[in-house]
Amino acid sequence: MNIATINAGFEKGDFLVREEQGNRVYFDFFEEAFNYISNKGYARMSREDEKHWVDLMNVIHDSVKGGMKYNTGTLLMVLSRPNGDAPAAAAPAKVPVPPKSP
């Protein structure tokens, strides 16, 4: 399973998407962040799983002596995608070529 998160609070109006392999993408609007990650095949976790994940992240961040070295923002949403479900890149459209006239 791959997990992605949408966070807020780094700068005014910034929304951060964190996804696999440490990729981070910033957006001005929540809708842009949500559309970006959902177009990559991620879906929101069930409320129970999302709550468990948020609670786990809070415990992890609280366990760091002296606090985190960076602003973690506010975790807004946790999304997941099963392994191997990455959307395949769309094949380029093939335009029929008319036959050459003699």
**pTM for this entry:** 0.68
Q: Is 41 inside a domain boundary?
A: yes
Residues of the domain holding 57: 2-81
Q: Is 34 inside a domain boundary?
A: yes
Give the separation between CA 35 and CA 101, rounded to whole angstroms: 47
Q: Is 88 inside a domain boundary?
A: no
Per-residue tens of pLDDT for the chain, all 102 residues? 888 989 897 676 689 998 888 788 899 999 999 999 999 999 999 999 999 988 888 888 788 887 666 666 788 889 999 887 655 544 444 444 556 666
Q: Is 91 inside a domain boundary?
A: no
Q: Is 96 inside a domain boundary?
A: no
- Number of structural domains, the chain? 1
Q: Which contacts of 66-75 are long-range, i.e. CB under 8 A and separated by 24 or more positions?
A: 71/9, 71/10, 72/7, 73/7, 73/8, 73/9, 73/10, 73/16, 74/7, 74/8, 74/9, 75/5, 75/6, 75/7
Q: Is 18 inside a domain boundary?
A: yes
What pLDDT was estimated at residue 69? Answer: 63
Cβ atoms of 42 and 27 closer than 8 Å: no
Q: Is 50 inside a domain boundary?
A: yes
